[in-house]
Chain A
Amino acid sequence: MSVDTATVARIASLARIKVSESELEAMVPELNGILAWVEQLGEVDVTGVEPMTAVIPNTLRLRDDVINADPLTGGDVRDAVLANAPAAEHGFFGVPKVIE
């Protein structure tokens, strides 16, 4: 499978990365080179093989339902949450107006 300019433009739009026409032109052969190379995986016989789900065989731990049990992963930290915001007003994050 190889990609053309339109496909790369669509992918860039899905990934929300603005690309210029010239960038797009340059990306097409690069991505095609990489994709052609990874496609050798198709040679591998994977009959009966399950995709890996955990690198080190392990299952999910569940935590207790306690509010702010660990301050590092709890709430009531609005100042820390907003500290780096490009636009924070009245306790909110500000973004360009969204029309729904």
Chain B
Amino acid sequence: MTNLTDLTVAAIRDGVAAGTFSAVEVAEAFNARVAAAQALNAFIVTTPEAALDAARKVDADRAAGNALGKLAGVPIGMKDLFATKGVQTTAASHMLEGFTPQYESTVSQKLWDAGAGMLGKLNLDQFAMGSSNETSYFGNVISPWRRNDGSTAAMAPGGSSGGSSAAIAARLCPAATGTDTGGSIRQPAAFTGISGIKPTYGRCSRWGIVAFASSLDQAGPMARDVRDCAIMLEAMAGFDPKDSTSLDMAVPNWEASLNADMKGKKVGIPREYRVDGLDADVAKSWDDGIAWLKDAGAEIVEISLPHTKYALPAYYIIAPAEASSNLARYDGVRYGLRDLPDGANLQEMYAATRAAGFGAEVKRRILIGTYVLSAGFYDAYYTQAQKVRALIARDFELAFQHCDVILAPTAPTAAFGLGEKTADPLAMYLNDVFAVPASLAGLPAMSVPAGLNREGLPLGLQIVGRPFDEQGVLNAGLAIEARAQFSAKPEQWW
């Protein structure tokens, strides 16, 4: 019999619908695989019963001849940034340890409505702040990938959606939710040899997702291939009146319109991304990508995004500024941790609670954000950054007059070892140099696996599209996927 945990979302959905196997069989197989992978620390909590309950309902519906949802019988992982009713939701922070939401996030609700089941809540960087999943209060996620030199050094799964990327790469779930503020879907996808798409800002409701930086946060799917991403995204996206920034647009049939033929399409190659000292393997995979898209019929054009260099510094003003305000609600009054030293007054309780509840990286960003918004500095930092952000968005707008999609590396390097970059926050931030510009401009962007580097670690290629053109992004991803023939998977050591 097929190994059920090797199947894609599409294959599970189709198999359940055809009766080749039951949804419960699928859930049981993934539950077992999750239970056996504790060494990866990909989940903060597992919810095998939730997965089984959803599966039983799908099986019953099928037996009764009821219509099945788009994700009927597909068990997935839920990044622990999405509020799940009755299931602890922590944002990987001590601050929210034990917090049990009385509500379900819009995106997770849509997934359950589509027939998906929940295997558990996936680990992440604390409050989604990090690029290696090393800031979680619940411990590092270990990537299933290792270098091909026989080393047993633990590798970073990327971040912040590191639990999601590790779990998918290790076949603990066929798909998972991610969120992307400055690359948090794409970079971990690249690090672990899977696919992930951040849709246009506003496609997926932010209601019920623990906020990091509101003007940047966007949910999206992570899965093993482009088709699975399209299926997942169709279920996750859609207008939500509860989110003022939600796009009031119909959700296209992305899966049905997948088309790897790039004839008549122009692919832009941004000159500014060829930074000095670009990793040779990364540069090569980029060239491969160019060749593949050309092979798929696309015309390659060079484009310029002149303000690329300033994207990351702008991001590191805007995101911490918003975060410093978004995270003010964690004060020990209504939920979450309360640290009340003897005799402390209200303000002292706040300070003690927040000191105990937030990790070092979260504190660092709150302090930066507080500083750049403080009296006398607001214009020099925040206003300037929002102006630069406008210029970055304009760069893309101009570039898209000459091309349909943009191709670039997802990250400047392949995965690094855990602990290798934790001493230097700036070095860590630089990981998102290629991912952040699309976030600042709210554009749809995805990462697809392109191959392995000389160390045997996966590399990703990034496709950025026009606003609302997820289809163009998915199609270019599919064209690369078809030619990259990426089939490597991590050898099971856990």
Contacts and interface: CB of A to CB of B under 8 A. Distances in A.
| Chain A interface size range | 35 or more
B346 A95 contact: yes
A6 B314 CA distance: 26
Contacts of A50: 387, 390
A56 B200 contact: yes
Interface string A62-75: 01000000101100
A84 interface: yes
A46 B388 contact: yes
Contact of B426 (A1, A34, A58, A87): A34
A98 to B, nearest CB: 5
B251 interface: no
Interface in A36-63: 37-44, 46, 49-56, 58, 60-61, 63
A24 B359 CA distance: 15
Indicate the member of A16, A19, A46, A96 with the most B CB atoms within 10 Å.
Answer: A16
Interface stretch (B56-64, B149-157, B362-370): B362-370
Interface in B248-297: 248
B347 A16 contact: yes
B102 A80 contact: yes
A30 B425 CA distance: 8
A5 to B, nearest CB: 13
A85 B371 CA distance: 30
A43 B388 CA distance: 10
A14 B441 CA distance: 30
Given A40-B313, A51-B390, A87-B338, A60 B367 contact: no
Indicate the member of B202, B335, B372, B429 with the most A CB atoms within 10 Å.
Answer: B335
Contacts of A31: 364, 367-368, 371
B351 A46 contact: no
Contacts of A96: 340, 344-346, 349
B350 interface: yes
A17 B368 contact: no
B355 interface: yes
Contact of A41 (B314, B346, B364): B314
B310 interface: yes
A34 B355 contact: no
Contacts of A3: 371
B422 interface: no
B332 interface: yes
Contact of A84 (B99, B241, B348, B425): B99
Given A14-B374, A85-B335, A49 B387 contact: yes
A41 B358 CA distance: 29
B384 A17 contact: no
Given A38-B316, A49-B387, A61-B244, A12 B367 contact: yes
Contact of A55 (B207, B309, B441): B441
A18 interface: yes
Given A34-B425, A84-B334, A17 B391 contact: no
B339 to A, nearest CB: 9
A3 to B, nearest CB: 7
B355 A27 contact: no
23 contacts: A3-B371, A16-B354, A17-B363, A18-B351, A18-B354, A30-B425, A31-B364, A37-B316, A38-B317, A38-B372, A41-B310, A44-B391, A46-B391, A50-B387, A52-B386, A55-B245, A56-B442, A58-B245, A61-B241, A70-B241, A80-B102, A81-B334, A86-B338
Interface of A: 1, 3, 7-8, 11-19, 27, 30-31, 33-35, 37-44, 46, 49-56, 58, 60-61, 63, 70, 72-73, 77, 79-81, 83-87, 93, 95-99
